[in-house]
Structure 1
Amino acid sequence: MGHGQQGWRVSRIRRQSPSTITVELSVVERMLLSRLAEQLIEVLSDRTDPAMTRLLPNAYPDDPEASAEFYRFTADGLTERKLAGARAVLAAVSNDGPVVLTEPAPVQWLHAITDLRLTIANRLGIAHDGDLGRTDEAAMPLQHSYYWLGELQEQLVEALER
């Protein structure tokens, strides 16, 4: 595990069948994931949040005209898919008991977790894997959430590969 990840093991993720994965989350993990998904929905709905530059990156940084054209044709569809993923996570963690993910939900969750991590990375000033970003006391809850989501993402990928 990388810096800051100690102790952030997700309860349990396991493949039940070729098309079903179960995720057992504690009450605290459910609350955290719920709040993060709600915040992502707010960011995607507002579209003026600085994190949008990470969620919808510039496809052609050296060509403003091509970049604007690409954004015009893709931004709405990408944003809607990202909103659907965040809403799916929010709905899944709102029930008690294990979260049961059937195809295509596990991949949708992976995309949503990536979006959550990108949003948090933007808040922390993390530009690349391995960067620490902000480590001041006020940033610690975000740091913990960032690493916990990374662990959740890793375990979900492992379950998908089995």
Structure 2
Amino acid sequence: MPGTFEPTPGGGAAVALDDVEISIIRSLAVQLLELIGPGPAEDAPDDPLAELFAEGPSEPPSDPVLRRLFPDAYCDPRLVPDSPQEAAEREAHSAEFRRYTENDLRAGKRENALAVIGTLDALSPVGEEGAVLKLTPGESRQWLGALNDLRLAIGSRLSITDEDDTDLLYRLPDEDERKPMVMAYLWLGGLQETLVATLMT
């Protein structure tokens, strides 16, 4: 899938996408929305302050993908605590940080995914040559955030932790059931890389 972002006048970005590419990105964004879940005040839409003052969870998510999207702030798994007390303090700090930040992080990720879906849905009918998606600078940043989240989610499902994992997965035989997910991961990486380049010009 050769589509790459290019800069547009005014600081935006554009990319040509065919109907298959549009369908894949939209489907992944919808799945991401379902994974992130609704906001804390979804059941109280008459109270506009409910979500603003709602506290988030203090425990890390059980789903490994959500743990990747919402990692602990003070618990780097590469750093071994010097004592049980230090470990307990890190956990307490992480829980407190999560309680007051995770709702906002989730809301931002939802907004980015919804922006992706909205801009794709607003495209003119896709012809034989596809359609050109044109993004404003703000939409470009939302797309960048969503592409990053999609790659983190797919990478977590594929157990990708570094570039060596990607290289090994790239060499998987075509009949391996993980191959389509690997190809989507690599393709989204190319889109993300070219979008970053447009925002830096």
**Range with greater deviation from structure 2 (99-108 or 83-92):** 99-108
In structure 1, what is the Cα distance between the partners aligned to 2:36 and 2:186? Answer: 22
Q: TM-score scaled to structure 1, two decimals?
A: 0.87
Question: CA offsets per residue over residues 79-110 of structure 1, 9 Å max, x none?
Answer: 00000001100111122332121121111111
From 115, 128, 138, the equivalent of 2:149 is 115
Say if 2:17 is the partner of 1:25.
yes
Name the count of aligned residue pairs. 154
Which aligned pairs between 1:98-109 and structure 2 lie closer than 5 A? 98-109=132-143
Distance 2:118 2:73 in 1: 31
Q: Which residue of 1 aligns with 2:44?
A: none
Per-residue deviation, residues 140-161 of structure 1 (Å, max 9, x unmatched): 1110110000000011112222
Q: Please list, as runs of the form range in 1=range in 2, the aligned pairs for 1:6-21 lying within 5 A after superposition.
A: 8-10=1-3, 12-21=4-13
Q: Supply the RMSD in Å over aligned alpha carbons.
A: 1.9
- Where do 1:8-157 residues align within 5 Å? 8-10=1-3, 12-45=4-37, 49-61=63-75, 62=87, 63-94=90-121, 95-96=123-124, 97-132=131-166, 135=172, 137-157=176-196
C-alpha contact (below 8 Å) 2:12/2:199 kept by paired residues: no
Cα displacement string for residues 98-143 of structure 1 (whole angstroms, at most 9, x for unaligned residues): 2121121111111110000000011000112332376471111110
Contact 1:43 1:49 in 2 (8 A): no
- Structure 2 distance, partners of 1:32, 1:124, is 18
Q: Which runs of 5+ in 1 are unaligned?
A: 1-7
Offset at residue 78 of structure 1 (A) = 0.3
In 1: Cα distance, 2:62 partner to 2:18 partner: 33
Determine the C-alpha separation between the residues in 1 that align with 2:62 and 2:14. Answer: 35
| Alpha-carbon contact 2:26-2:116 (below 8 Å) kept | yes
Whole-Å separation in 2 of the counterparts to 1:41 and 1:81? 11
Structure 1 runs (4+) deviating above 2 angstroms are 46-50, 132-136
Q: Determine the C-alpha separation between the residues in 2 that align with 1:48 and 1:18.
A: 42
Tell me the TM-score normalised to structure 2 length: 0.71
Q: Give the aligned partner of residue 5 of structure 1.
A: none
Q: Which runs of 5+ in 2 are unaligned?
A: 39-60, 76-86, 125-130
Could you tell me which amino acid in structure 1 is paired with residue 149 of structure 2?
A: D
How high is the sequence identity, in percent, across the aligned residues?
Answer: 34
Q: Which segment drifts farther, 81-90 or 131-140?
A: 131-140
Displacement of 1:65: 0.3
AA of the residue aligned to 1:30 = I
Q: Which deviates more from structure 2 when the two are superposed, residues 44-53 or residues 142-151? A: 44-53
Cα separation, 1, equivalents of 2:33 and 2:194: 24
